[in-house]
Amino acid sequence: MKSTEIKPNVHWVGAIDWNIRDFHGYSTYKGTTYNSFLVKDEKIALFDTVKKPFLSDLVHGIRQVVDPIKIDYLIVNHVEMDHSGAIPEIIELIKPEKVICSEMGKKALLEHFHREDWPFEVVKSGQTLSLGSKTVHFLETRMLHWPDSMFSYIAEDRLLISSDAFGQHWATSERFDDEVDQPELFAHAAKYYANILLLYSPLVQKLLGSVQKMGLDIDMIAPDHGLIWRSNPSKIIQAYDTWSQQQTTRKAVIVYDTMWQSTELMAKAIGAGLADAGVSVKLYNLKVNHRSDVMAQILDARAVIFGSSTLNNGMLPTVADMLCYVKGLRPVGRIGAAFGSYGWSGEAVKLITQALEEMKFEVLDPGIRVKFAPTHEDLKRCGELGHKIGHAVMEQG
Ligand code: FEO
């Protein structure tokens, strides 16, 4: 892809991965990008690299702007391999005067590449690097996404190079937010937040507070994945504020798997009860929905209700997978309940309820178990459970 000048003498030189469909458990149906930025000043700096198989794309992008050997500094904002995979070859090619990273970044780079001979320079929050007419300000953003992560802010351009934060997994030929469909853009950004950053929400809140306190004047945010926010960066900052406060809406997600459709019938009856109480309901059968798409919907759902048939004295594996995934991402302040059909032992509902309690969900009901196929009366009970949870959802405003 052609390099793109995003600010005067600041160029996107990254790679577009049209084909990736799984990003460690996250479904990337529309691919992703690995954004890398090249700043040309008296000194020339490259911010992050790309995933290793995309080295040639990066080199091609750089060569459109400058002879790679002229690059003075490699700035490593994040060591995860989707941004650092090409580092060894890039260092061979550009022979940088300095490889600039956080203290944790140096540690992680050594643990990945074992190259003590690279010219590391460790920076901390508040330190700056002059490139000539432009100055880079560093801000460590530990755990967003890894302990090594940091932001680079170029004051003269009011440009925040934000590493993983504010990203989206979406491969596009467009580079800027205002060139694409807005609802789709925000859906990708929300899915990214729900699946990658939700568990770090308290740190996101802290970071947003620091950014505000530092009075950073930002008119463009350039993340390492997806579109660059130039039209109104405060919109995505506001969205991160909402998501990291874990604000929820009058919405319920029913997530389930079913053996012979009995649990599915129960899901529908519970959904009808919730809808009757005024709640917006979404049903996800895990046979046909990916865990990361369900997680994207859980982001603003006030109630999450899990259903599973009992299999081999436990729950169905898809439901166990989903619970494990949700637990790791730590949604807080949610209402939960369990339901499911069984043949003779019927442990699934109890096991799900235990998992919900461990995740500190507000469990309003011991859950509903139905032997084999639900009767009309059983489905009425499911509807009543939906009503009960629906009223609790509505009471919260
Ligand atoms: Fe895009 Fe944490 O790497």
Q: In which element (H, E) is residue 7 found? A: strand 4-7
Q: Which amino acid would we find at residue 12?
A: W
How many whole angstroms separate alpha carbon 316 and alpha carbon 257? Answer: 7
How many whole angstroms separate alpha carbon 159 and alpha carbon 222? Answer: 7
pLDDT at 135: 98
What percent of the chain has a predicted confidence (pLDDT) above 70? 100
Closest atom of ligand 1 relative to the 149 alpha carbon: 2
Of 333, 335, 329, nearest to 194 by C-alpha is 329
Does pLDDT of 55 surpass 90? Answer: yes
How many whole angstroms separate alpha carbon 273 and alpha carbon 367? Answer: 14
pLDDT at 193: 98
Does pLDDT of 20 surpass 90? Answer: yes
pLDDT in tens, 357-381: 999 999 999 999 999 999 999 999 9
Closest residue by Cα to atom 1, ligand 1, is: 164
285 forms beta bridges with 256
Does pLDDT of 43 surpass 90? Answer: yes
Active site residue 80: yes
Cβ–Cβ < 8 Å for 27, 293: yes
Q: Indicate the average pLDDT of the chain.
A: 97
pLDDT at 324: 98
pLDDT in tens, 93-147: 999 999 999 999 999 999 999 999 999 999 999 999 999 999 999 999 998 999 9
pLDDT in tens, 300-320: 999 999 999 999 999 999 999
pLDDT at 211: 87
Band (213; pLDDT cuts 50, 70, 90): confident
Closest residue by Cα to atom 3, ligand 1, is: 80
Cβ–Cβ < 8 Å for 360, 332: yes
Cα 284 to its chain centre, rounded Å, is 20
Does pLDDT of 167 surpass 90? Answer: yes
Cβ–Cβ < 8 Å for 165, 144: yes
pLDDT at 232: 86
148 lines ligand 1 (CB under 6 A): no
Active site residue 276: no
Cβ–Cβ < 8 Å for 185, 176: no
This model's pTM is above 0.85: yes
Active site residue 192: yes
pLDDT in tens, 270-283: 999 999 999 999 99
Closest atom of ligand 1 relative to the 196 alpha carbon: 2
Q: Catalytic residue among 26, 192, 256, 342, which?
A: 192
Q: In which element (H, E) is residue 324 found? A: helix 317-329
Cβ–Cβ < 8 Å for 95, 71: no
pLDDT at 66: 98
Phi-psi region of 284 (alpha: psi -120 to 50; beta: other; left: phi over 0): beta
Closest atom of ligand 1 relative to the 225 alpha carbon: 1
Q: Catalytic residue among 157, 164, 177, 300, which?
A: 164
